[in-house]
Amino acid sequence: MSRAMKSLQLRHLDAGSCNGCEQELTALTSRYYDLQQYGIDLVASPRHADALVVTGPVTDTMKKPLEKVWQAVPESKWLVALGDCAAGCGVFQEAYASHGGVAKPDLVIAGCPPRPQDILDKLNQFRLGQG
Amino acid sequence: MMGTELNKRWILTNSQQRDNGSQLLALTAFQDERIVAHWLLPDGQCRENAIAVTAGAFPSLTPVLPQVSWDEREIHDLFGYIPNGHPDLRPLVRTPRWPDAFYPLRSKFEQPIPWLDVEPDNGDQRVTGEGVTIMKVGPTHAGVIESGHFVFSIMGENILHLDLHLFQNHRGVEGHLEGRRLAEVAPLVSRICGADTVSHQVNWASAVEKLAGHTIDQPLAWRRVALLESERILSHLNDLAQIPAGVGFHVAHQQALAMKEKWQRGMHSLFGHRLLFDTVGPGTAAFFDPDALGRLIHDVRRDWQSWRALVLGHHGFQDRMLGVGIVRQADAARLGAQGVVARASGLSFDARSVMPLYQEWKVKPAGEVSGDVAARFKVRLEEVETSWRLLQDVIFEVAKMPLPSFWQPPEDLAGDAVAYTESPHGLNAHVVSLKNGQVVRYHVRSGTFRNWPLLTKAVTGNAVGDFPLINKSFELCYSCSDR
Ligand code: SF4
């Protein structure tokens, strides 16, 4: 399926972040970025989502919940790694209770944390099928 | 002395320390079978008491010092040492997925870890009886927040009991720090928590400087104060933005988010990072232009004044916060509340009043007594005002000063040190042990770790619909406690 979409609904899941990535994702809801004007939004349920946005290096305790939430996202679906930790190149990927990031993301938004404008640009390009 | 005598003395000395008004910095276990309690005395001196772990056990302090209940459970999980006499030794960090003899901080283990293929949930504590409903929330959430699992026992609308199951964000930070060389530590410490990062960085820097016997000069010290206060404003703006969101007051929420964004953009152009990561290290602190910081404060403070008038003048909002989520002073004292939570419940401790870094500034702790959401909101308002003033004083002084002299620690540094700061979320302590320029033990005890158990007290008896509001008035970071 082509990825060019009018809208992109995201569900966020924290898998062991330091909350830096969350803060910058939250900043997109402020009037400086206003992500909804691009048809992008954060939704409450994985059932309503097109993509799952994961932050953190995937701690062991979040491994199963992550799998479950991913299964709850209807097809077609995409996995977004937000930040270096989720992308597998963060500083804690080799800590004993980390699994080193998400497997095979469709979109990687690198940075520690990535800046809100970068997050928005990457999501938008992805929505338009250019990512 | 006989073992039982030593045990009695351990309990007695630590409870006396608490009674004389000292603050517990940390209770730390070591691989060489020692437990050390670090105390911060009212005059700013640090004192430590130690006890040996004998036959895999040590006497629990929890019955006389309930605030260490979680510390001892964590030691039990990560080291396998048994706190004899602990009233509730359920797993705190450990999950059923952990292999049997896996105690990550006690000894080396084979990698990768053979995690068991089962669910990570531990048994929960619930109220039973007619009409009681169990409501489970998490570990994943509907909004953009960190993961945590809450088990509510409710009757009608009212919360009877909240059982916390946190540590979903346990990455293994302390274990990961072991074996690191000096130069590798700062980037890791900087990322323990995105909301209190400067506080963590300053702790690491001061621990190293203390061990090397190095005193930083005033221009450097005041730059650190500028960074710590900039972080307090950033973090308080974030937390103040969340409280109105908890009651659907979106104008105030959005305006505060916008102030935070403006401040973050300023932080990026002044210090090179929107959240102030990697700005402080042993012997260093980010350089900044005091005039530019002055202009930023002037600009954001204008927004702040009108926002402050908006929230204080909105009676509906004020009413919603009054009498909700009360933390009684007795509970705050018993459970070792920290930071805003303590200062909103009549405990007037603020580590800045004794920190050597703040010697010149005489910070007077903010104080409220009602212990409700309104009090925690007001304490943050007052603290932002104090930080504006402090920052302006710092800018004034820094502008007149020569550039700081930077310093490098010796590569073979060794010894044990404890360092602390007042983070935006309360007293934050690091216990650091180095050998030949390498970390052998690194323990982090943040303010949020102490405050989580207080949240359960604050919500009991309140309507479950008020949980988001009460939770946001605490605004506890998970990463700081889970590590
Ligand atoms: S990528 Fe950086 S900001 Fe994001 S969770 Fe990891 S350490 Fe924190």
pLDDT at position B364, please?
A: 86
Does A4 have pLDDT greater than 80? Answer: no
pLDDT-derived band of residue A106, with 50, 70 and 90 as boundaries?
A: very high
CA distance B305 to chain A (A): 19
Mean pLDDT, to the nearest integer, of B241-248? 90
Instruction: Name the residue facing A92 among B119, B168, B173 (closest C-beta).
Output: B173
A1: in domain: no
CB contacts of A25 in chain B (<8 Å) are: 144
pLDDT at position A131, please?
A: 56
pLDDT at position B1, please?
A: 56
CATH code, domain with A66? 3.40.50.12280
B147: in domain: no
Give me the interface pTM, i.e. the ipTM.
0.93
Does A91 have pLDDT greater than 60? Answer: yes
B223: in domain: yes
A46: in domain: yes
Mean pLDDT, to the nearest integer, of B34-54? 94
Mean pLDDT of chain B: 94
Q: Are residues B98 and B183 in the same domain?
A: no
Range of the domain at A69: 8-127
A3: in domain: no
pLDDT at position B140, please?
A: 87
Q: Are residues B283 and B392 in the same domain?
A: yes
Q: Which atom belonging to ligand 1 lies closest to the Cα atom of A113?
A: 3
Does A1 have pLDDT greater than 70? Answer: no
For B300, the 3-state DSSP assignment is: helix
pLDDT > 90: percent of chain B: 85
Q: Which of B122, B139, B155 is the last residue of a domain?
A: B122
Using a CB–CB cutoff of 8 Å, tell me whether A26 touches chain B: yes
CA distance B370 to chain A (A): 30
Does A6 have pLDDT greater than 90? Answer: no
Q: Which A residues, 68 through 97, put their C-beta within 8 Å of a C-beta on chain B?
A: 69, 90-92, 94-97
Q: Please give the angle made by the CA atoms of A43, A48 and A54, to the nearest 5 degrees.
A: 60
A2: in domain: no
Residue ranges with strand state E in B179-318: 280-281, 284-285
Query: How far is Cα B10 from Cα B100, in angstroms, rounded to an integer?
Result: 30
Q: For chain A, how far is it from start to end, CA to CA, in angstroms?
A: 14
pLDDT-derived band of residue B326, with 50, 70 and 90 as boundaries?
A: very high
Say how many Å lie between the CA of residue A35 and the centre of ligand 1.
Answer: 21
**Of residues B166, B177, B238, B197, the one with CA closest to residue B481:** B166
A116: in domain: yes
Q: Are residues B189 and B114 in the same domain?
A: no
pLDDT, tens digit (0-9, with 9 covering 90-100), for A14-67? 999 999 999 999 999 999 999 999 999 999 999 999 999 999 999 999 999 999
Of the CA atoms within 13 Å of residue A42, those in its CB half-sphere come to 19
Beta-carbon count within 10 A of B5 CB: 9
Q: Which of B122, B156, B184 is the last residue of a domain?
A: B122
CATH code, domain with B460? 1.10.645.10
Q: Which of B89, B122, B155 is the last residue of a domain?
A: B122
Range of the domain at B427: 173-474
A57: in domain: yes
pLDDT at position B406, please?
A: 85
pLDDT-derived band of residue A2, with 50, 70 and 90 as boundaries?
A: low
Note the residue count of chain A: 131
Query: Looking at the 3D structure of chain A, how many domains does it have?
Result: 1
CATH code, domain with B25? 3.30.460.80
Hey, CA dihedral for B145, B148, B149, B150, is it positive or negative? negative
Give percent helix, percent strand, percent coil of chain B, each to the nearest 5: 45, 15, 40
B38, burial (CB in 10 Å: exposed 0-12, middle 13-18, buried 19+): buried
Mean pLDDT, to the nearest integer, of B359-387? 93
Q: Are residues B251 and B383 in the same domain?
A: yes
Q: Are residues B116 and B215 in the same domain?
A: no
A104: in domain: yes
pLDDT-derived band of residue B414, with 50, 70 and 90 as boundaries?
A: very high
| Closest Cα to atom 6 of ligand 1 | A85
Does B2 have pLDDT greater than 70? Answer: no
Q: Are residues B217 and B350 in the same domain?
A: yes
B138: in domain: no
pLDDT-derived band of residue B110, with 50, 70 and 90 as boundaries?
A: confident
Query: How far is Cα B427 from Cα B429, in angstroms, rounded to an integer?
Result: 7
pLDDT, tens digit (0-9, with 9 covering 90-100), for B261-300? 999 999 999 999 999 999 999 999 998 999 999 999 999 9
B144: in domain: no
Does B193 have pLDDT greater than 70? Answer: yes
pLDDT-derived band of residue B304, with 50, 70 and 90 as boundaries?
A: very high
CA distance A99 to chain B (A): 9
Query: Looking at the 3D structure of chain B, how many domains does it have?
Result: 2
Q: Are residues B118 and B187 in the same domain?
A: no
Mean pLDDT, to the nearest integer, of B206-217? 95
B148: in domain: no
- Asked if residue A17 has its Cβ within 6 Å of ligand 1, the reply is yes
Q: Are residues B177 and B118 in the same domain?
A: no
| Closest Cα to atom 7 of ligand 1 | B191
